Amino acid sequence: MRFGLDRLLAEPTLRAPLAGRRVGLLAHPASVTADLTHALDALATLGDVTLTAAFGPQHGLRGDKQDNMVESPDFSDPVHGIPVFSLYGEVRRPTDAMMDRFDVLLVDLQDLGCRIYTFVTTLRYVLEAAARHGKAVWVLDRPNPVGRPIEGLTLRPGQESFVGAGAMPMRHGLTLGELGRWFVATLKLDVDYRVIAMDGWQPDAAPGFGWPLGERAWVNPSPNAPNLAMARAYAGTVMLEGTTLSEGRGTTRPLELFGAPDIDARAVMAEMRVLAPHWLGGCTLREIWFEPTFHKHAGTLCHGVQIHAEAPVYDHAAFRPWRLQALAFKAVRRLRPDYPLWRDFPYEYELERLAIDVINGGPALRDWVDDPAARPPDLDMLTHPDEAAWAEERRPYLLY
């Protein structure tokens, strides 16, 4: 199969509308060709593309910024001599001066298929700016590595944030190019938008179910996204960022595990199996011990659980990471009713709301965890209508 970038490079007819126009590129470390050449370098070799600016999202064009709320500066690219503007530095939205540097913006970002991944929000922001300034936006499409499954509560009105760009569930099941089509339609944007689609993407095909295993190398789109197993678990484990539990930052398997110095992981897993064994399908849970080298509980031995969403146990249709992680929170709360589970700290520049509510697009998940009478069927009753509605809403924007 070929990604959008590879098609643009290989097919001059696709590039023809760029002739005589100034071109910007929004990219990160995973913006590479099949032979792992970065998009900036590959586009610069073309005689018919005039690169005049580049942009980096959260973690930077180089992907060097490790954590959330660690900003990247603007700089001049030492190889190509063009300005590189940060969209996760002094600003989140491109300024008028930034927009003046190009006519067409190429967006080549590897997404993880999760609402909270901030590249989704950055896409919305550049589309809105392009509509105001009369600029064109082209998405060079890449796979949603976790495929088409839908899961989670829809973000509620008024709960928008930098980790919540719109009313979609946590696992949206769209590519970035398809998400752009949805943004243009739902926001009613008057913008010249196009998608350079992939050739041969099969989101339901084994063994990758979204990611072309054996065909393409995995390059971290952000520092703590090291592999496909992490991407599969992320729609659930990202909620750990709103808790006092470690999500494994500071270990070699971030966002595939959770734990803390003062929990009994065996008891948590046992309680999860009692409460909702049907929410644990498609993966294996394994008791682990770990000591983060930085971030939460740094230098302290933690008892925890690793989620193995990989062969031979992985079942794409059965795996439900959002419910699995919600169930872990419920198990902790039932075993330790007074456990200080929810972390009270600024999260992605949201200073008033609890981080867990920012992440989930509202308080419903936290309310379910904290309600002693609430059971797994109650969360399903809240969530199933949102998931069904999204399946219908997204249908017109599917390209594959």
What does CATH list as the number for 4-222+392-397? 3.40.50.12170
CB 207 within 8 A of CB 213: yes
3-state class (DSSP) for residue 52: strand
Q: From CA 319, how far away is CA 177, in angstroms rounded?
A: 25
What is the average pLDDT across 50-71?
78
- Interatomic CA distance for residues 14 and 9, integer angstroms: 9
Mean pLDDT computed over 100-125: 97
Residues above pLDDT 90, as percent of the chain: 91
Q: Apex CA 216: angle with CA 233 and CA 149, to 5°?
A: 35
Closest CA to 115 of 68, 58, 174, 168: 168
Q: Give the CATH number of domain 228-375.
A: 3.90.1150.140
State the pLDDT confidence band at 347, using cuts at 50, 70 and 90. Answer: confident
- The three-state (H, E, C) secondary structure of 25-59, written as one string: EEECCCCECCCCCEHHHHHHCCCCCEEEEEEECCC
Token look-up 């008891």 returns 267
Q: What is the pLDDT of residues 213-263, one digit of tens each?
A: 999 999 999 999 999 999 999 999 999 999 999 999 999 999 999 999 999
The residue length of the chain stands at 400
pLDDT tens per residue across span 25-53: 999 999 999 999 999 999 999 999 999 99
In whole angstroms, give the CA distance from residue 239 to residue 242: 6
Provide the token pair at 226.
């090291």
Q: What is the pLDDT of residue 350?
A: 81
What is the edge-to-edge ordering of all strands in the sheet holding 75-76? 75-76, 83-86, 50-56, 22-27, 104-108, 136-140, 192-196
Do the two domains 4-222+392-397 and 228-375 of this chain adopt the same fold? no
CA distance 249 to 258: 10
pLDDT tens profile 266-323: 999 999 999 999 999 999 999 999 999 999 999 999 999 999 999 899 999 999 999 9
Q: Where are the domains of the chain?
A: 4-222+392-397, 228-375
